[in-house]
Structure 1
Amino acid sequence: MSAVDTARVDRPVSVLLRVLPFQSLSARRAGHLVHRNLLVARRTWLVFASGLFEPFFYLFSIGVGIGGLVGPVVADTGAALSYQAFVAPGLLAAAAMNGAIYDSVFNLFFKLRYSKLYDAVLATPLSAADAAVAETAWAVLRGATYSAAFLVIMAVLGLLGSWWALLALPAAVLIGFAFAAVGLAATTFLRGWQDFEFVQLALLPLFLFSTTFYPLSTYPEPLQVVVQCTPLYHGIELVRGLVTGDVRWGLLGSAAYLAVLGLVGLAIGARRLSGLLLK
């Protein structure tokens, strides 16, 4: 191959490397930052553990209280479930979302804008891409912890209807990954604490309308279309199908939706974080 041909081949490759945000990524280096976050969490374990109780409160207040009034619920697949069994998978998915968002948005914003943690991080061999992956992984771990604890409570209460429920925890990890990555990307656009109102404005409708408490069929048709486009809906569909044993091919579509969303969010977040830290 001539020098001219080699240059023609190398030019697209070099352009691709400049576009991709992970060319300087090292899992080992990112692991050091995850370990640092673990050490901090051990000193503030009470704050970390406080997030464990929110889904329990919803389950016992709404799932048990309202469940005693409404009786069985017919899911969109036609299966009749007790209201507690219907609501619990939605709360499991929401726990993964909330745990991931808390770290990837609120804690990350504080580290980025106020504690200036990453100024010190980038003085080490860690790159901005390492920091993005590490913070996403830590947020996923937090969401997975909340989901695992809630899954144990569901098992104790007899709300697991199938052995497929063993896959509910990996599904919760996938949900956490999607929201952690999107949260990372969103945080790089926040200008101040006031912008957290926009985060809450997005999270609250997701929590209330993503079939967490009601089947999709109860909504007007235009709203059904909107709900089916949201990530938490796909997360709840995935978890609810596994927990109730209603395993179907459509769950693979929901899993793919979450995986693609997470990868896109992580790529955008890593590139944005690199721009903020290295400008």
Structure 2
Amino acid sequence: MARLADVLPVPAGAGMARTLVERNYRSFRRTWTIIVSGFFEPVFYLFAMGVGVGALVGDVDAGDGRLVPYAVFVAPALLAASAMNGAVFDSTTNVFFKLKYAKLYDSVLATPLGPRDVAVGEITWALLRGLVYAAAFLLVATLAGAVTSWWAVLTLPAATLVGWAFASVGMAVATYMRTWADFDWLQLAILPMFLFSATFFPLSAYPAAVQGVVQATPLYHGVAMIRDLMLGQVTGGMAVHVGYLAVMGAVGTVWTGRRIERLLLR
């Protein structure tokens, strides 16, 4: 039977980071219920907001004058939020515990792995977790009738991109945290993005002065990209969303690598 580390594709130049991904897989496969639990929150939101509130709201403007049922409008945003939550909370809480309490990375550095392997390995594991959430949610949304285009199959690589962006920055942020109380600041950043990134109502519903602020948030780009795919509205403008998230992921990965190197080799 092939080892996960031998078949799992990882970014070029990641070295032995895949062995850390395998370590996490072997560790978490006995506590898979913890990972699965994160899938239910967006599903509950889909049925509470998309079905319940949707019965009161009716159809909404998807952005190009096209009216769609509210459940169809909100499902892509919840898929993007699912990928974000799975990636960012895995890359912060687990990494913080391993770094500050378990001292796992001190042991890792006694092996051929280096600090940058740690960074890439943990980010890869976090985005894989986000991808699992997104795939499960996409299945539920399809069964609920909230998927209207075959372009929706591309939401899985899109969700992976969202996960990479948030996991890389999330892990970098985790290296600055001193106690568990600092996670309140993380929640202070994540919750407003979840609520106000054109998640539950169109961008046009915001005042003109606020729309620019909304469009500057990373989750907005994830929501807009996945919404366009699920509605089959694929245009050249999607390159802006892809570019934004790709740059965020690349910067976050380099930032995390340098932070881990500084902390573990000082």
TM-score of Structure 1 vs Structure 2, range by shorter chain: over 0.9
Q: Which has the larger radius of gyration?
A: 1
Pair 1:174 & 2:161 matched: yes
| SS of equivalent to 2:240 | helix
In 1, Cα distance between equivalents of 2:173 and 2:74:
28
Match of 1:36 in 2: 23
Match of 1:107 in 2: 94
In 2, Cα distance between equivalents of 1:109 and 1:79:
45
Gaps of 5+ in 2: 1-11
Cα drift, residue 157 of structure 1: 1.6
Match of 2:234 in 1: 247
Match of 1:21 in 2: none
1:62 to 30, 49, 57: 49
In 1, Cα distance between equivalents of 2:95 and 2:108:
13
| SS of equivalent to 2:190 | helix
Cα drift, residue 26 of structure 1: 5.3
Match of 2:32 in 1: 45
1:148-191 Cα distance to aligned partner (Å, 9 max, x none): 00111111122211111110110000000000011011111111
**Paired-residue identity, %:** 55
1:53-102 Cα distance to aligned partner (Å, 9 max, x none): 11110001111110000100112222111000000000000000000011
Within-5 A mapping of 1:7-46: 27-46=14-33
Match of 1:231 in 2: 218
In 2, Cα distance between equivalents of 1:235 and 1:207:
11
Match of 2:208 in 1: 221
Match of 1:87 in 2: 74
In 2, Cα distance between equivalents of 1:115 and 1:79:
52
Q: Does the aligned pair in 2 maintain the 1:26–1:130 contact within 8 Å?
A: no
Q: Does the aligned pair in 2 maintain the 1:140–1:180 contact within 8 Å?
A: yes
Q: Does the aligned pair in 2 maintain the 1:100–1:139 contact within 8 Å?
A: yes
In 2, Cα distance between equivalents of 1:64 and 1:157:
9
Match of 2:9 in 1: none
2:258 to 260, 268, 271: 271
Pair 1:206 & 2:193 matched: yes
Match of 2:6 in 1: none
Consecutive aligned runs of 4 or more in structure 1 exceeding 2 Å deviation: 25-28
In 1, Cα distance between equivalents of 2:193 and 2:227:
16
In 2, Cα distance between equivalents of 1:224 and 1:274:
38
Within-5 A mapping of 1:145-164: 145-164=132-151
Alpha-carbon distance change, 245 to 26 in structure 1, aligned in 2, over 3 angstroms: closer
- CA-atom RMSD in angstroms: 1.0
TM-score by structure 2 length?
0.94
Task: Count residues in correspondence.
Answer: 255
Residue type of the partner of 2:120?
A: V
Pair 1:132 & 2:114 matched: no
| SS of equivalent to 1:114 | helix
